Chain A
Amino acid sequence: NAGVTQTPKFQVLKTGQSMTLQCAQDMNHNSMYWYRQDPGMGLRLIYYSASEGTTDKGEVPNGYNVSRLNKREFSLRLESAAPSQTSVYFCASTLSDSPNYEQYFGPGTRLTVT
Chain B
Amino acid sequence: GENVEQHPSTLSVQEGDSAVIKCTYSDSASNYFPWYKQELGKRPQLIIDIRSNVGEKKDQRIAVTLNKTAKHFSLHITETQPEDSAVYFCAASRGQAGTALIFGKGTTLSVSS
Contacts and interface: CB of A to CB of B under 8 A. Distances in A.
Interface of A: 31, 33, 35, 40-45, 48, 50, 56, 58-59, 90, 94, 96-98, 101-103, 105-108
A35 B91 CA distance: 13
21 contacts: A33-B101, A40-B105, A41-B105, A42-B6, A42-B89, A42-B103, A42-B104, A42-B105, A43-B103, A50-B99, A58-B100, A59-B1, A59-B102, A90-B43, A96-B99, A98-B98, A101-B32, A101-B34, A102-B46, A105-B43, A105-B44
B49 A101 contact: yes
A21 to B, nearest CB: 15
Interface residues of B, number: 24
Contact of B44 (A40, A44, A59, A90): A90
B98 A96 contact: yes
Nearest to A43: B103
Given A42-B103, A94-B98, A103-B34, 18 more contacts: A42-B89, A42-B105, A42-B106, A43-B44, A43-B91, A43-B103, A44-B103, A45-B102, A56-B100, A59-B1, A90-B43, A97-B98, A101-B49, A101-B93, A101-B98, A103-B101, A105-B43, A108-B43
B45 interface: yes
Interface in B27-48: 32, 34, 42-46
A37 B34 CA distance: 18
Given A42-B104, A97-B98, A102 B49 contact: yes
Nearest to B100: A48
B86 interface: no
Nearest to A95: B98
Nearest to A96: B98
Nearest to B93: A101
A35 B89 CA distance: 14
Closest 3 CB pairs of A and B: A96-B98, A42-B105, A105-B43
